[in-house]
Amino acid sequence: MFIALWGYWLIYMIVIRLVFLMYNADLSAVLNASELFRIVFRGFHMDVSMAGYYLALYGLLLTFSVFFPSQWASRVLRWITVMLLVFSGAVTVVDLELYRHWGFRINNTPFMYLGPGAFGSISFWVAVKGTMIFFGLLGAFLFLYNKWIAPLAGSLSGRILKGYGLLMLLVTGGMILPIRGSFTVAPMNEGMVYFHASKPYANHAAINVVWNFVASMKQSAKIRYPEDFYDPGQTQSVMSRLYSAPDSTTPILKPGRPNVLLIIMEGFTSGIIEPLGGLPGITPALNRLCGEGILFTHFYASGDRTDKGVVSILSGYPAQTQTSIVKFPGKTENLPYLSRELKNRGYHTSFLYGGDADFANLRSYLTNARFDHLTDLESFPKVQNTSKWGVHDHFMFERLRAEMDTARMPFFKTVLTLSSHEPFDVPLKSRKVLQSEEDLYLNACTYTDKYLGEFIGYAKKQPWWNSTLIVITADHGHRHPGNRALQDEQRFRIPLLLLGGALSVTPHEKDILGGQTDIANTILAQTGGRENKFAFSKDLLNPAAVPFSAFFFQNGYGFMQPGKGYIYDHIAHRVTVAYGDTTDLGAGKAYQQALFSDYNRR
C-alpha cells in the first residue's frame, strides 16, 4: 500500500503540472514537443521529493498505528489524504492565475499582500475557473483513492500492522533521500529542475508548485541576502564610478521654488504609449502631452509591483529579488524620502490615493515618509467606492482638482492611480467587444488616460500652473500588450515625462538610460541640489550622469547600458537573456551586491 500511495501522489503531481501547462496555453504554445517532455521529465525529480514529504506523513501514521485498531488507521489515512488534496489543490489553483500576473510560481510572497484588497484583482470568471479546477482535481483524485487505495487500506489487519511497524519506521526515515533529492551536499532546490537557457517559462513549468510553496514557507520572513555575490572591494569601486558625476545639473525650470506634482500611473507600460513605440490610440492624451514636455525615452521601473515602485520613486531605493522592503517598517524607517527632503526645504507635502493605504503595508511607509496629509479610500464618500480596489480614477482626479485649488505653496503632492489594475472593471464603454484580458487592460488604460488629459487641461487654466512641475511616470510596467514574460526588459519600460508651466525649456526627448530610483535626485537637483543619502539615485539632467538602469524580479535582475544589457537568473546562476555584448557582467553584479548589502544592513 505504501508503494501505491507513492504512485498515487506522483500521478497527482504530474497532473497538476499538465493543468498548469494547459491553463497557460498561450505560453506553452511556444514550446516544442522535446521541451514539453523535458518539463515533465525534469520536474519528476521534484515531484518525487514532494511525494516523499507526503509519504513520510503516511509512514508515521502507519508506524504508530500498531497501538490502535486497524479501522482507525484506515479512517485517518483517508482524512489525511483529503486534507493533502485540499491543500495541494488550493496551492495549485492560486498559482495558476498568479503566475500569469507575477511571472513566478507561488511562494510565500502572497502573504505579504494579504489584506482588505488582496483579492481585488480576481474577476468573477477567474474565480469560477479556479473553483471548477479545484473541485475537479479533488473529485477525480478522491475517486481514484476510493478505487485504488481504500481497498488496500481496508485490508490492513492488526496483525499485519504490528508486523510492519518497525519496517514502516525504517521506510519513513528513508524518505529523507527522495525529499533531499540527492546524495551530494546540495539538497533539492529549484535550480535542479532548470534546463532551458533562454525560455524561463519552461524552467518555471518544471517546478513542482506544492514543493515550491512549502519550501518558501520554511524560509524566514527576514531574508538575508548573500554578501559574496560579487567582490566587496570591486563593488564599492563600481558603485563609485556609476554615481561619480559631480553635483551639476541642467536647469529646466523658471527661477524660484516650483510646486511639484508627481503622478504615478498604475501599470502604464511604454507598450501603450505611442511616442515610446507603443500601440497607437490607447493613450491619446498622454501621447499628446509627450510632445509638451521633456520625455525620457529609455526609462525603466525598478520592480514589478506597486509597493516596490512607490519605494523606488519616493526613496530612490531599488526593488528586491525576494522581498519587498515596504513590509518591514524597521527597515523603511531608515530609508531616505523625497517628501522629507522637500519638506525640509519648505514644501507642504501630501499623498492622494483612491485605494486602501493599509494594503501591502503602504500606510506605515507613507507615515515614515512624513507626508503632511494623506488622502486614501477612507477620505472618499462610500458611494464612490465602486471598484474592487477602491475609488475609480475619475473620482480621484476630481478630488485632486479640489485639493490643488486649496493647496499651500510650494507644494509636493504625490498621486497614485488604480483603475488600470486587474480586473480592469472601469466605467468606460469600448467601441469594440472586449474579449481578452489584454482588451480589458487597454480599455482601462484608455479610461485613466482620458481623465488624466482632462485634469491637465483644467490645470493649465489655474493660477498655480505657471509655477508647477508635473512629473508623470508609472509604478511598474505590465505583461500586456503581448503577454510578455517577467524577464522581458520591455515589460519594465515605463514613461517619465516632465511638463508644466514651470518648465523654461522647449519640449524635447532625452534618451539617457535611467530608472525610477533616479527620480528623487532629478527633482531635488532642480529644487536646491541633490542629496547624497539617495545612494542609488542619479540626476538624469546632469550631463555627466552615467547612463544605466537596473530592474529586479523574483530571483533575478536586469542591467541595461547603452547598446547592451542582460537578464540574470539567481536560481540558474547564469545570464538567460543577452542584449548585445555581455562579456562584462561586473557593473550589474556589483549593483546587485550593493543592494544586497545595503538591504541587510537596514
What burial class does residue 573 get, using C-beta atoms within 10 Å of its C-beta: 0-12 exposed, 13-18 middle, 19+ buried? exposed
Say which residues have a Cβ less than 8 Å from residue 358's Cβ, sequence separation at least 6: 115, 116
Q: Where in the chain is the domain with CATH 3.40.720.10?
A: 232-601
Confidence of residue 277 (pLDDT cuts 50, 70, 90): very high
Instruction: Tell me which residue of 143, 149, 53, 133 sits closest to 94, measured CA to CA.
Output: 133
Displacement of CA 85 from its chain's centroid (Å)? 28
**How many helices and strands in the chain, by DSSP H and E?**
20, 14
DSSP letter for each residue of 261-323: EEEEETT--GGG-GGGT--TTSSHHHHHHTTSSEEESSEE-SSSSHHHHHHHHHH-----SS-
Confidence of residue 178 (pLDDT cuts 50, 70, 90): confident
Q: Please give the pLDDT value at position 121.
A: 59
**Cα separation of 578 and 564, whole Å?**
8
What is the β-pairing status of strands 556-561 and 549-553? antiparallel
For residue range 492-510, list pLDDT tens digits in order.
Answer: 999 999 999 999 999 999 9
Mean pLDDT to the nearest integer, 408-431: 92
pLDDT at 344 over 90: yes
Homologous superfamily of 232-601: Alkaline Phosphatase, subunit A (3.40.720.10)
Instruction: Tell me which residue of 531, 257, 263, 258 sits closest to 413, measured CA to CA.
Output: 263
Confidence of residue 159 (pLDDT cuts 50, 70, 90): very low
Taking phi over 0 as left and psi of -120 to 50 as alpha, with beta for the rest, 393 belongs to alpha
CA gyration radius for the chain?
Answer: 27
The pTM (predicted TM-score) of the whole model is 0.80
As a whole number of angstroms, the longest Cα–Cα distance in the chain is: 94
pLDDT at 438 over 70: yes
Cis peptide before 423 (omega within 30 of 0): yes
How far are the Cα atoms of 3, 79, 175 from residue 60, in angstroms, in the given order? 15, 15, 11
Taking phi over 0 as left and psi of -120 to 50 as alpha, with beta for the rest, 281 belongs to left
Mean pLDDT to the nearest integer, 285-300: 98
Mean pLDDT to the nearest integer, 438-453: 96
Mean pLDDT to the nearest integer, 38-43: 92
Higher pLDDT pick, 117 / 19: 19
Contact yes or no for 402/350 (Cβ under 8 A):
no
The C-alpha cell 477612507 sits at: 378
Q: Please give the pLDDT value at position 510.
A: 97
Higher pLDDT pick, 60 / 84: 84
- C-alpha cell, 573: 546562476
User: Percent of the chain beyond pLDDT 70?
Assistant: 91
pLDDT at 444 over 80: yes
What burial class does residue 399 get, using C-beta atoms within 10 Å of its C-beta: 0-12 exposed, 13-18 middle, 19+ buried? middle
DSSP letter for each residue of 322-353: S--GGG-HHHHTTS--HHHHHHHTT-EEEEEE
**Cα separation of 91 and 82, whole Å?**
14
> What's the N-to-C CA distance of the chain in angstroms?
52
Q: Please give the pLDDT value at position 67.
A: 60
Q: Please give the pLDDT value at position 266.
A: 98
For residue range 548-581, list pLDDT tens digits in order.
Answer: 999 999 999 999 999 999 999 999 999 999 999 8
What burial class does residue 467 get, using C-beta atoms within 10 Å of its C-beta: 0-12 exposed, 13-18 middle, 19+ buried? middle
